[in-house]
Amino acid sequence: MIIEEFRIQNFKALKDVHLTNLPSMAVFVGKNGTGKTTLFRIFAFLQECLSSNVRVALQREGGLLGFKEVISRGLDPEKDVIAIEIKFRMEIADRQRLVTYRLEIGQDGGKPIVRREILRYKRGQHGSPFHFINFENGKGTAVSNEEDFNRPDEELDREEQTLSSPDILAIKGLGQFDRFKAAKAFRQLIENWHISDIHISSARGAKPPDEGEHVSSRGDNLPAVALRLFNEHRPVFDEVCRKMEQRVPGVKQIEAREMENGSLVIRYRDGAFDEPFLDLNVSDGTIKMFAYLLLLHDPKPHKILCVEEPENQLYPELMVLLAEEFQSYSRRGGQVFISTHSPEFLNAVGLESIFVLEKEAGVSRVWRVQDDPLLADMMKQGEHAGYLWDQGMFAGIGHRIAARP
């Protein structure tokens, strides 16, 4: 499964952002305050909507004001809606099909509700997409035999459903059952996409044992993940250590071990010393690079991986190597969304992968670099994206694209 289109309407500064033909690795660049973090918050917002409900998710984003603080400025909270639409491709009945999920969140009497929630795709090569899930205000229908392609649309089994509350997503319940295949696949996609914002202060030091399989969002379970990788996937762990030795000067050995008190630590050995050091005594960049390599060599990689500003605490010369690791991850089947300010990282990224955020009059817009005739031509002539970004050449991209004949 890969996301091909993403549309966001009326979510904070994202008044109407429509991303199409998304590549397996998409890199978003823009000045501070242009909306990169808001764009990535959509993923966390949908996860919270699914795990709890839209009311809780809105409070996480907007505090006590909830919906009124999250909906774009200048709109009517009682009439207008926040809309999120995702198109993804998945195999259904031995064919790749483009599935659309649309969620509209509004208010009713000051309380947030799911105004509309649909999931649709084409059953045949012709005709309009068929709605397999269609809910409004907590009530709707779901088709329970969607893979029975021998039946015409009007003979499919539709189940009438009433949710326990109108602020709950229909896919939260329906996505638990095999008979709702597309709903189940999309629910799993949301549950398993991962937002990474590794903090060195969280990653460093002794940690308690952790049952999680993956590197956590803040990286506070690195010792447990490293120890599990060493015990259960030794070749992968050895590959991570080999890359660390190649890319971080002085690192010759890394080990995760359990202390007498039951806590877990990571120790690094410098080639100039016989005894390894605890991670309290190594650089931030060493820990950050090790965390990213563990994340990107996960034996069960995330289908969707979002990473905010991976350049923090890393030496600029490591950014090209890290970009190559992200590209390798995307080629293995994971889709990666990255925000960055790093010219070095951008220098290692292709024209088709770069998106630019600009903000004007409080509204964020997202532009694809390859749609700008000036930047596209300069990069085709051999210029690197990072150098162009550093020289301020990305400024005004929206006006140039809008002025195209």
366 pLDDT above the threshold of 80: yes
- Specify the 3-state DSSP secondary structure of 167: coil
Nearest to 36, CA basis, from 68, 63, 12, 4 = 12
Cβ count near 149 (within 10 Å): 14
pLDDT score, position 148? 66
Per residue in 226-246, pLDDT tens? 999 999 999 999 999 999 988
The whole-angstrom separation of Cα 157 and Cα 37 is: 42
Provide the b/e sequence for 332-364 (b: ≥16 CB within 10 Å): eebbbbbbbbbbbbbbbbeeebbbbbbeeeebb
The whole-angstrom separation of Cα 12 and Cα 59 is: 13
pLDDT score, position 228? 93
Where residue 104 falls among pLDDT bands split at 50, 70, 90?
very high
pLDDT-wise least confident of 79-83, 275-279, 293-297: 275-279
pLDDT-wise least confident of 19-33, 56-70, 87-101, 137-151: 137-151
Where residue 127 falls among pLDDT bands split at 50, 70, 90?
low
- Given a contact cutoff of 8 angstroms between Cβ atoms, the answer to whether 156 and 146 are in contact is yes
pLDDT-wise least confident of 86-95, 340-349, 380-389: 86-95
pLDDT score, position 401? 92
Domains in the chain: boundaries: 200-301
253 pLDDT above the threshold of 90: no
Provide the b/e sequence for 155-191 (b: ≥16 CB within 10 Å): ebeeeeeebeebbbbbbbbbbeeeebbbbbbbbebbe
DSSP letter (8 states) at residue 138: T
pTM tops 0.85, yes or no: yes
Where residue 257 falls among pLDDT bands split at 50, 70, 90?
confident
The whole-angstrom separation of Cα 19 and Cα 230 is: 40
Nearest to 287, CA basis, from 262, 312, 306 = 312
The whole-angstrom separation of Cα 323 and Cα 310 is: 9
208 pLDDT above the threshold of 80: yes
126 pLDDT above the threshold of 80: no
Interhelix angle 36-51/181-192, rounded to 10 degrees, is: 120
Beta bridge partners of 365: 358
The pLDDT > 70 percentage for the chain reads 95
| Paired tokens of 30 | 């823009």
The whole-angstrom separation of Cα 104 and Cα 21 is: 23
The whole-angstrom separation of Cα 183 and Cα 196 is: 25
Q: What is the pLDDT averaged over residues 166-181?
A: 87
Per residue in 317-351, pLDDT tens? 889 999 999 999 999 888 999 999 999 999 999 89
pLDDT score, position 271? 64
Per residue in 352-365, pLDDT tens? 999 999 999 999 99
pLDDT score, position 51? 93
Mean pLDDT of the chain: 89
